Amino acid sequence: MNGAIFNLALKSLGNRLFTVGLTVLAIAMSVTLFLAVDKIRTGARTSFSTTISGTDLIVGARSGSINLLLYSVFRIGDPTGAMSWESYERIAGAPGVEWAVPISLGDSHRGYRVVGTNNDYFERYRYGRDLPLAFRAGEAFGANEEGVVIGAQVASDLGYEIGTEISLSHGIGEVSFADHDEHPMLVTGILRPTGTPVDRSVHVTLEAIERIHDDVVEEDGHDEEHAYEPEQITAVFIGMEQPTLVLRLQRQVNTYPDEALSAIIPGVALMQLWEVVGAGEAAFGAISAFVILVGLISIATSLSASLNERRREMAILRAVGARPGHVFVLLVSEATAIAAAGAIAGIVLINLLFVLIAGGVQSRYGLTLASGGLSLTDMLTGVVVITSGAMMGILPARRALKNALADGLTVKL
């Protein structure tokens, strides 16, 4: 019997396709918005938390830990300052330090951030679940001061290959007037895609960075036995022999008397970042949830608005044997069907949309949007929207019930 009623509900909705379609659209849009906020949030969290692993401490000039994390790992924003090479050497030689990779930031190549570092970077940097960087072609700088290793995105966007000659510019920006063509650099290696900011980075030697900032190239540097020593760098990635030593070194760095430095534990800084971002996320989530609520209310609105012109229909149904309960079920079924159509349309829409834009977002912002079918959130949202939609039907259904009981067989039109 209720199957028959549901069948009636669908036909009734089909008869009012325009208004019903608008309500379905409103719900679909609200569900799309809600899921978009959620998916971007989840995508951002996943991308951020898989960007760096295996690094126990990051040291840089004194600044807030979130700031240091953002510019050193995520290449977002500008370094607040530099740290001296002496400090780097002191920290690298501290007890318990297994490795220390210096990086030097602040320059760009055709809009891509330039990272000055040494060969160790490609050995030590880990992302995701302890994955090392891998070369798609070529290799690290080796002894080549003019060597350049580019991320996968840089290679595909700019069409660079092994052996391509490039020049570096000072500062960060798409266009620079200070290109140094007299010392062309040579692409020696191309990394495999990682889904991290490494894909959009141009890695050069520390010497090359020094040369951009200082036109005088120290010729004698080549003859010395040990590695080149720049005057200053931006930050150091540190790996410890034992995890238990991390906190002690962090304290030592933070209280280092000769220079104002900050040491951060990436995971801890990330947590702080989430705390800051969390308030904004919650606000967005609340707003988009309210938008869904507005969409759901429009179900009750449109069904209630239709009730007066449907009094005759209800009287006919009563006359052919429909119980008041059937009238109630009819309206709740209609509300449920509208909500279900809206929820399903919204879920399909957001997933199609994300499949379409995922590639662009990945290459432009380095943000991996969760794709690959329905997420648990999609399904939960669908269930909640459909259930709430059914409840929204109770309001007009109660009115229809009241009308049906009052009108009996004789509604005057």
Partner 1 sequence: MTRAFAIEIDQLEFGWKPRQTLLRVERFELAAGERLFLVGPSGSGKSSLLSVIAGIAPASAGDICILDQDMGALSPARRDAFRADNLGVIFQLFNLVPYLTPLENVLLPCRFSPQRRKLAMANGSLGDEGRRLLMALGLDGDVVSRPSTELSVGQQQRVAAARALIGSPGLIIADEPTSALDADSRDNFIQLLQKECEAANSALLFVSHDQALGAFFDRRVDLSEINTAGRVSA
Which range binds partner 1 by CB under 8 A, 259-267, 288-296, 383-391, 402-410? Answer: 402-410
Q: How far is the CB of 23 from partner 1 (least distance, A)?
A: 17
Q: Residue 143, interface with partner 1 (CB under 8 A)? A: no
Q: Which is nearer to partner 1, 77 or 408 (CB)?
A: 408
String marking each residue 320-359 x if it binds partner 1 according to CB under 8 A? xxxxxxx---------------------------------
Q: Residue 21, interface with partner 1 (CB under 8 A)? A: no
Q: Which is nearer to partner 1, 203 or 326 (CB)?
A: 326
Which range binds partner 1 by CB under 8 A, 50-58, 188-196, 309-317, 394-402? Answer: 309-317
Among 11, 163, 174, 177, binds partner 1 (CB under 8 A): 11
Q: Residue 319, interface with partner 1 (CB under 8 A)? A: yes
- How many Å apart are CA 378 and CA 33, to the nearest integer? 12
Q: Which is nearer to partner 1, 143 or 413 (CB)?
A: 413
- How many Å apart are CA 411 and CA 391, to the nearest integer? 27
- How many Å apart are CA 43 and CA 274, to the nearest integer? 13
Q: How far is the CB of 20 from partner 1 (least distance, A)?
A: 11
Among 77, 132, 360, 408, binds partner 1 (CB under 8 A): 408
Which range binds partner 1 by CB under 8 A, 173-181, 213-221, 225-233, 403-411? Answer: 403-411
Number of residues that bind partner 1 (CB under 8 A): 25
Within positions 53 to 92, which residues make up the interface with partner 1, using CB under 8 A? Answer: none
Among 143, 276, 279, 409, binds partner 1 (CB under 8 A): 409
Among 61, 240, 296, 317, binds partner 1 (CB under 8 A): 317
Within positions 177 to 236, which residues make up the interface with partner 1, using CB under 8 A? Answer: none
Residues that bind partner 1 (CB under 8 A): 1, 4, 8, 11-12, 14-15, 312-313, 315-326, 408-410, 413
